[in-house]
Amino acid sequence: MKNIELIFVPCPGTGHFVSAAEFSKRLIHRDDRIRITILHMKWFPNASVDAYIESLAASQPDGIQVIDLPQLDVPVDPTKSIESSIPAFVQSYTPPVRNAVRDIISMTSSSDETRVAGVVLDLFCSPMIDIGTEFDLPSYIFFPSNASLLSLMLYIPDRHSLKSSEFETSDPDHLIPGFVNPVPTCVLPSPLFSTDGGYTAYLKTAERFKDAKGIIVNTFEPIEPYALNYLSNGQNPPVYPVGPVIDFNGLSYSDDKVMKWLDDQPQSSVVFLCFGSMGSFKAPQVKQIALGLERSGFRFLWSLRVPPPHNDASEMLPQGFLERVQGRGIICSWAPQLKVLAHKAIGGFISHCGWNSIIESLWFGVPIATWPMYAEQQLNAFMMTKEFGLAVEMRLDYKQDSDEVVMADEIEKAVGKVMDGESEVRKKVKEMAEMARKCIIEGGSSFNSIGRLIQDMLGNN
């Protein structure tokens, strides 16, 4: 049988690009007949994606190549949601992606050894399914988040057919197929309420999912059995849960003062605070976090991003705080999250609830206290606490762009709960960590799901 070539088109955001590339590694590791080309679209400067691509090139994985597409100037209105600009971005990159696909097909058509078997598109690139159709190629959606969010996105076109307008904050809880519990309106992604194009972007993206040959989801059966059961009802394209897909290169980060400090701490004694690459707080909130940590009495590692106009974290902290907690806590501007979560000293994680952060914490059996910030993180926080019982509820509906301040006493209580060594949540998270690891080994549910996906791709003529 011939080798097959797959063309991946991920969005350039770190969580999207890295997840897609890591999944492509898993495919070629599983079957040496697979070759993969990743088309690198560029939008904002992204040092982490650039560094990842450099490390990928340095490791020279057999069967994977990255093609840099031209940098395009896609304007973004800073007064509108980033989601409102995604359709223009995808439309702008459609011609260069089409040209790249044509060139790859042309190169392989003269070969007796390899044929192009499909394109794998980021969820936001679903309109590019038309490119696959143009070249008679099946298109798959790579969904780097969870099955519950996929259920919500499939619900949006159904709802729109009945009520053709944006969501409203006054809406009652939503009965969304794929969710066990009614979903509060306040935890839905903010763009669904916007009239600036964010809602339309979600709608147009989700409407194309039905045209995909299959949807690949970075989740695993034990954590989302209800949503995955709904998605396999035959009314949607086949769904392949293939997770957890994690970039384990983060474990190779060289030691620095953060890791050396952790080495000196007792097992499960440190609470880790990290809020993602875009998560930052204004000075009043930073002060309350500091006071909450100080009052909690627990050791802490706090990854604190300093927003303009501040130049130094100390400008935002309560007077004398650093002296009072000296030796008990450490503040840094950046921490190697995966390696930190893997460290024996970490006992709890106060997180923005990005999906990659959630699956990394579950992999290492570290319980989360929820503090969502943006995108779909409020929905993730709701799922982790109400649907799965795998996280401590701190906040479910916090929004980064609000002026709300979470007070020190609430933070202190959340730290105490997430660091409780005897809690039911901690026990369930440890159990889920074992199940996650079993999913990806031979005979596991995600291992088997990838096998079915590969057989489907090999059968594409």
State whether 99 and 40 are in the same domain: yes
Strand order in the sheet with 3-9: 64-68, 34-40, 3-9, 114-122, 139-143, 214-217, 239-241
386: part of which helix (H) or strand (E)?
A: none
Residue 299 is which amino acid? R
Total tally of structural domains belonging to the chain: 2
Render 89-117 in DSSP notation, one character per residue: HHHHHHHHHHHHHHHHHHHHHT-SSEEEE
State whether 363 and 406 are in the same domain: yes
- Residue 291 belongs to a domain with what CATH number? 3.40.50.2000
Q: How far is CA 135 from the centre of its chain?
A: 30
List pLDDT tens digits, range 117-164: 999 999 999 999 999 999 999 999 999 999 999 999 999 999 999 999
> Who's near 366: CB < 8 A, 6+ residues apart?
272, 341, 346, 347, 348, 349, 429
State whether 171 and 228 are in the same domain: yes
Pairing of strands 3-9, 114-122: parallel
> What distance in Å separates the CA atoms of residue 457 and residue 246, rounded to the nearest whole number?
23
Q: How many CB atoms lie within 10 A of CB 197?
A: 19
State whether 339 and 196 are in the same domain: no
State whether 205 and 275 are in the same domain: no
**Both tokens of residue 343?**
């460290």
Helices (H), 135-256: 147-162, 198-207, 225-231
Q: CA quadruple 409, 412, 416, 418: dihedral positive or negative?
A: positive
State whether 72 and 208 are in the same domain: yes
State whether 238 and 99 are in the same domain: yes
Q: How far is CA 280 from the centre of its chain?
A: 18
Inter-CA distances, 212 with 8, 130, 209, 229, 243, Å: 14, 10, 5, 19, 20
List pLDDT tens digits, range 254-280: 768 999 999 999 999 999 999 987 778
State whether 90 and 162 are in the same domain: yes
State whether 152 and 225 are in the same domain: yes
State whether 81 and 218 are in the same domain: yes
State whether 396 and 430 are in the same domain: yes
State whether 206 and 73 are in the same domain: yes
Domain that holds residue 30: 3-248+442-458
- SS3 state at 236: coil
Question: Measured at the alpha carbon of residue 176, what is the angle toward residues 170 and 182, in degrees to the nearest 5?
Answer: 60
The pLDDT profile of the chain, 461 residues, written as one tens digit per residue, is: 689 999 999 999 999 999 999 999 999 999 999 999 999 999 888 888 999 999 888 887 789 999 999 999 888 887 778 888 999 999 999 999 999 999 999 988 777 788 999 999 999 999 999 999 999 999 999 999 999 999 999 999 999 999 999 999 999 999 999 999 999 999 999 999 988 889 999 999 999 999 999 999 999 999 999 999 999 988 899 999 999 999 998 887 776 899 999 999 999 999 999 998 777 899 999 999 999 999 999 999 999 988 777 677 788 999 999 999 999 999 998 899 999 999 999 999 999 999 999 999 999 999 999 999 999 999 999 999 999 999 999 999 999 888 899 999 999 999 999 999 999 999 999 999 999 999 999 999 999 999 999 999 998 76
